[in-house]
Structures are given as C-alpha cells and as structure tokens.
Structure 1
Amino acid sequence: MSDAIDADLRRRTWELLQPGEIELDGLVVHTDLDGSGETQMHQLTVDVGDIIAEHAGHDPTDTFVYSGTDDPEFSSNQHQGLTLDGEEFVWECQQLLRDGSFDVVFYFEASADTAEILSAVEAAGHEATAIRGDAESPETAVVE
C-alpha cells in the first residue's frame, strides 16, 4: 500500500474515533484480498474480532458477529461483535476496498489493551496498524 493511501486511511480512522458516546481505539488490518476472497475476509473478521474480544475481557465464545442484514442503517461490509448476553458492543468493523484489495477497519473500546491486540493480530500473521482515538492528531495516533 502506498504511503499516501496509508496516511489517508490512518487519518480517516482517527477521525471516526473522535469523541462519541464511548472512547474508541482502532485497528486497520491490511490484506491482499480482492472481491473474490469473501470467505477469507469473513474468517479474518471473525479471527480478529475474537482477538479483540479476548483483550477486551470477553470470552470470544460468548460473542457473535452481527452483520446487520436486517438493519437499513448498516452497509453491506459493516459488522459488529456483540456479547451473547445483552448484545453489548465489543467491536465494529468495516471492510473497505482500497486500491484493489481490502483493508478491514476495526473499532473497539479504548479500555482494551490496544498494543496487545496489535501484537496478537500480527502474531496471527496479519499486517496491521493500531490507532489511538485519544491522540492529538492522526500523525501521533499510531501505536508502535
């Protein structure tokens, strides 16, 4: 991915994390999957969602993926991880086709250990960038 596209995606992710009802951090998972990799994209979404759930204090088996197919406010590539008990928010993601391949942008509560999530996602073999929502600017938001 070119530096300009990567910087734009970091900026857009950071902007979406800005003040809302809850403090959020984000994770951009870069893939080489195109539109023909739907099954792999689904599995990546579930796998990364489970990592986020675990580091946010949830047993991944106590969560499920809601894809909003019955909700007109959801887009076709938008998903949420919710708890089985009470359907509490754990994470949300959007699968974005950029420059011929997908990037999956996840959002989750900032109380989760973002650096540990990044480390676990990378250990699972994925290229990722973590973004702190409380940073002063997109340039200072990247978690190393």
Structure 2
Amino acid sequence: MSEILDSDLRRRAWELLQPGEIALDGMVVHTAFDGSQETRMHQATVDLGDLIAEHAGHDPADTFVYSGTDDSEFASNQHQGLTLDDESFVWECQQLLRDGSFDIVFYFKADVPLDDLLADAREEGYELSGIRGDADSPDDALVSPEP
C-alpha cells in the first residue's frame, strides 16, 4: 500500500481534531477486518483503547468502553473510553468500513505522547498513522506511518 492514509481520510480525521474544548491528537488504524469480523474488530478497539489509556496515565482496568447504543447522538460504530470513577474522557473512536475493510479512527487528548503510543501500537502488530491536531493543515498533520 503506497499511501497508507489517503488524503480524504487524513483530512476528515484532522478536521475532527480542530478547535474544541480540549486539544486532541488521533491515530488511524488500518485493519483487514471485513463486516463479518466484528468480534475481532471490537477486540482490537478495546486493546488499542487500553494502550491509549496507559499512555494517558490511566490503568486500563479503571476505564470502560461506552458504546452509546442508548444515545441518539452516537453512531452505531462510535465508542468512547471513559474512566470508571468520574466518566472522564480518555479516547473516542469511529469504526469506518472503507474499501471492504475497517479503519478505526481514534481521538484522544493531545498530552498523550503520540510518538510513543504509535511505536507501541506498531510493536503490537497494528498498521497505523498518527494525526496531530495542532497542525496547520491535514497534510502537515500526518505522523510518519513508518516505525
């Protein structure tokens, strides 16, 4: 795959990181999971959420995944990692079916050390790209997909 993160997905991810209540960064995880492999995709989402929680200074055992199935403002493939004690934001993700397989787009506070998180996720075997929310443009936001 010559360009791991196509320009449309990079632009869309970067736009979602733009000025909000908190500074955010993100990562796009590319999977080979198709629609019939939702259980594997869910496990990857949980595992990566735990990795984000660790890098954010939380014990993953002190967080949970909120899927919003009872919330009309949540999409069916949108999830949040929240803390158990006060339901503080740790991460959010969207699972996007593109060209027959899912990409999982995560967003998290920009104080998470992005380069370290990406390196650890790659060590776990994930193919991914990082997106910096403080970049001036989507093209400047891409963190090299190479280890």
Deviation at 1:143, TM superposition (A): 1.7
Q: Name segments (4+ residues, structure 1) moved above 2 Å.
A: 1-5
Cα deviation 1:41-96 (Å, max 9, x = unaligned): 00000000000000011011100000001111100000000000000000000000
Separation (CA, whole Å) in 2 of partners of 1:37 and 1:4: 21
Matches for 1:110-125 after TM superposition, within 5 Å: 110-125=110-125
Question: Aligned residue for 1:81?
Answer: 81
Separation (CA, whole Å) in 2 of partners of 1:119 and 1:8: 24
Helix, strand or coil: the match of 1:106?
Answer: strand
Question: Aligned residue for 1:105?
Answer: 105
Amino acid at match of 2:114: T
Question: Aligned residue for 1:127?
Answer: 127
Residue identity over aligned pairs, in percent, reads 70
Question: Aligned residue for 2:26?
Answer: 26
Deviation at 1:6, TM superposition (A): 1.5
The yes-or-no answer on 1:71 pairing with 2:71 is yes
Amino acid at match of 1:120: D
Separation (CA, whole Å) in 2 of partners of 1:105 and 1:142: 13
Contact 2:30 2:103 in 1 (8 A): yes
Distance 1:5 1:142, change over 3 A: closer
Deviation at 1:5, TM superposition (A): 6.6
Amino acid at match of 1:104: I
Helix, strand or coil: the match of 1:71?
Answer: coil
Contact 2:4 2:129 in 1 (8 A): no
Helix, strand or coil: the match of 1:72?
Answer: coil
Separation (CA, whole Å) in 2 of partners of 1:102 and 1:4: 13
Matches for 1:51-62 after TM superposition, within 5 Å: 51-62=51-62
Q: TM-score, normalised by structure 2?
A: 0.94
RMSD between aligned residues: 1.3
Count of aligned positions:
144
Q: Which runs of 5+ in 2 are unaligned?
A: none
Helix, strand or coil: the match of 2:6?
Answer: helix
Separation (CA, whole Å) in 2 of partners of 1:12 and 1:137: 11
Amino acid at match of 1:129: S
